[in-house]
């Protein structure tokens, strides 16, 4: 909404524009679950969404539910689609050295990843690439299998890349993360 209506935008009411352009607006998990459109805007929180461990205290959808809804909506496009799903709070948890937060949000991301893999298995034309842009916190286990953190910042630890589907054979070994978009474009036969 524009500032004149209590929002943060200077002039334009983007919500009215989305509605005018035929987008279905979902503001909570139930509305997202019942959405049946190829054009959906999901706005579930005024700021950051709740960590996964606190999701039960909100009406926000999980990352898996948002991934499922996005795949269902985007699959209606005969020309194909690109979808990026981010488990951003895993990074925040690493900065906070909060083991429980990191683990519950990693589990939430895993559920979203499984949702994408199941879609790709059925579709047989979908490439799924899973990567992290960096490690945060340096989480490890001590000699007694207790979690320990080495920093509250990003680390230089290599991060894995997983891929599934057509073109997935291009992803393997040590790679520069800036090469990933080029490899995805190559798998999709798109010239950058």
Q: What is the pLDDT of residues 85-115, one digit of tens each?
A: 999 999 999 999 999 999 999 999 999 999 9
pLDDT at 46: 85
Tokens 């090469």 correspond to what residue?
Answer: 179
Across residues 183-188, what is the average pLDDT? 86
Q: How far apart are the first and last CA of the chain?
A: 35
Instruction: Say whether pLDDT at 2 is over 80.
Output: no
- Outline where DSSP puts E strands in the chain: 24-26, 40-42, 128-131, 135-136, 140-141, 147-148, 154-155, 161-164
pLDDT-derived band of residue 15, with 50, 70 and 90 as boundaries?
A: confident
pLDDT-derived band of residue 44, with 50, 70 and 90 as boundaries?
A: very high
| Domains of the chain, earliest start first | 1-43 (no CATH), 62-187 (3.40.720.10)
Buried residues in 13-42 as b, exposed as e (16+ CB within 10 A): eebeebeeeeebebeebebbeebeeeebbb
Short-list 6, 25, 28, CA closest to 17 = 25
Across residues 144-148, what is the average pLDDT? 94
Across residues 135-157, what is the average pLDDT? 94
What gap in Å lies between CA 149 and CA 191, rounded to an integer?
A: 42
pLDDT at 128: 95
Cα 18 to Cα 6, 21, 62, 121, 132, distances in angstroms: 18, 5, 23, 33, 31
Across residues 158-174, what is the average pLDDT? 88
User: By the 8 A CB rule, do 106 and 90 touch?
Assistant: yes
pLDDT-derived band of residue 8, with 50, 70 and 90 as boundaries?
A: low
pLDDT at 164: 95
More confident residue, 107 or 179: 107
Taking the whole predicted model, whether its pTM rises above 0.85 is answered as yes
Q: What percent of the chain has pLDDT over 90?
A: 65
Report the alpha-carbon angle 169-170-173, nearest 5: 95
Short-list 135, 113, 132, 128, CA closest to 177 = 132
Cα 114 to Cα 9, 68, 117, distances in angstroms: 36, 10, 5
What gap in Å lies between CA 13 and CA 9, rounded to an integer?
A: 7
Instruction: Say whether pLDDT at 45 is over 80.
Output: yes
pLDDT-derived band of residue 187, with 50, 70 and 90 as boundaries?
A: confident
Instruction: Say whether pLDDT at 10 is over 70.
Output: no
Q: Please report which helix (H) or strand (E) contains residue 119, including its range.
A: helix 99-123
Across residues 18-31, what is the average pLDDT? 94
């Amino acid at each position: 909404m524009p500032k004149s209506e209590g929002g943060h935008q200077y002039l334009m009411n983007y919500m009215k524009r989305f509605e005018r352009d035929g987008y279905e607006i979902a503001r909570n998990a139930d509305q997202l679950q019942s959405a049946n459109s190829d054009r959906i805007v999901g706005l579930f929180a005024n700021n950051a969404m709740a960590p996964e461990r606190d999701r039960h205290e909100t009406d926000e959808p999980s990352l898996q539910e948002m991934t499922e809804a996005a795949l269902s909506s985007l699959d209606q496009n005969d020309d194909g689609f690109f979808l990026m799903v981010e488990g951003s709070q895993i990074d925040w948890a690493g900065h906070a050295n909060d083991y429980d937060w990191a683990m519950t949000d990693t589990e939430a991301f895993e559920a979203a990843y499984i949702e994408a893999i199941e879609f790709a298995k059925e579709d047989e034309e979908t490439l799924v690439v899973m990567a992290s842009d960096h490690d945060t916190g340096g989480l490890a286990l001590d000699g007694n299998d207790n979690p320990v953190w080495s920093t509250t910042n990003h680390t230089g630890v290599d991060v894995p890349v997983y891929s599934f589907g057509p073109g997935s054979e291009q992803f393997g070994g040590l790679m520069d993360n800036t090469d990933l978009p080029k490899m995805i474009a190559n798998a999709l036969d798109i010239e950058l």
